[in-house]
Amino acid sequence: MKWLKNLLYFFVPISAFILSMYFTIDIVLKGQETTVCPDVRGKKVEVAKEMARNKGLSLIILRYERRNDVPYNHITVQKPDANIAIRKGRILYVIVSEGPQLVEVPALTGQPLEKAAEILGEKLITIRKTIYIPHEKTGRVVAQVPRGGSTILEQGGVTLVVGSEQRPFYMLPVITDANIDALLDEMEMKRIRYTIQYGSNGHAPGRTDIKTSIPPKTIFNNDNELIIKINTGGQI
């Protein structure tokens, strides 16, 4: 039984030491202040460091990763997770996006479309859509979205509004034998394309019928050629 007594002499001090260490650590931990871990995801590193500092935490970057959907120098992952209670003085580990970077959209208003495309290409910005509107600045950018000076993700896109040739519209009046000469003069002045076709069905003269390819009181532009059919001998 002597060996059992010696074994107890050996283990009792060790057990007492372990228990005392446990209670000491427990008391120390309970005495430490806690804080709520901030949510730094999507924040710039500089902003995240300030948020961590305000909570009594340190911030360390574990690594950078390529992310096309998150701007450069913005945080993508954090540990510990956000909004949980942790001890002050702990380290907040984060992973940071290394791109694409934010780029400034150049001001393109007034530039020819070809030059605007060249400027955007140098900044790795694509033309998402081109909208043409009647404007005196034909072939030039008259508006853009986003506007010049704003920032977008690299390889993002912009919409350009480009001036095109202004095409006036007209309303075709009712053409009669009495007003046709004056109307033809007006169309010549306005450069409206038209063709006159004459015909006769052999009926007795005395009545002139006039028909047009575009119905009267219809709005049209000079892309449409107006065909005027004149029958001097009855209906066509």
Q: Judge: domain 32-99, CATH 3.40.50.1970.
A: no
For residue 70, pLDDT over 70 is answered with yes
User: Parallel, antiparallel, or unpaired for β 58-65 and 91-97?
Assistant: parallel
Indicate whether 41 pLDDT > 90: yes
What confidence tier does 235 reach under pLDDT thresholds 50, 70, 90? Answer: very low
pLDDT of 236: 44
Phi, psi of 56 (to 5 degrees): 80, 25
CATH architecture for residues 102-164: 2-Layer Sandwich (3.30)
Q: What is d(CA 186, CA 188) in angstroms, rounded to the nearest whole number?
A: 5
For residue 3, name the pLDDT band (cuts at 50, 70, 90): low
Q: Which of 68, 74, 66, 76 is nearest to 156 (CA)?
A: 68
**The predicted structure's pLDDT at residue 13:** 59
pLDDT tens for residues 85-94?
Answer: 999 999 999 9
Q: Which of 76, 78, 35 is nearest to 59 (CA)?
A: 78
Residue 187, pLDDT score: 83
Asked if pLDDT for residue 1 goes beyond 60, the answer is no
Q: Are 76 and 41 in contact (CB under 8 A)?
A: yes
* pLDDT tier for residue 32 given thresholds of 50, 70 and 90: low
Predicted confidence (pLDDT) at residue 11 exceeds the cutoff of 80 = no
Residue 118 is given by DSSP the state H
Weakest-pLDDT range from 20-24, 121-125, 153-157, 207-211: 20-24
Overall average pLDDT of the 177-181 stretch: 82
Mean pLDDT, residues 194-213 taken together: 73
Decide: 94 and 49 in contact? Cβ < 8 Å: no
Residue 166, pLDDT > 70, answer yes
| Cut 0.75: pTM above it | no
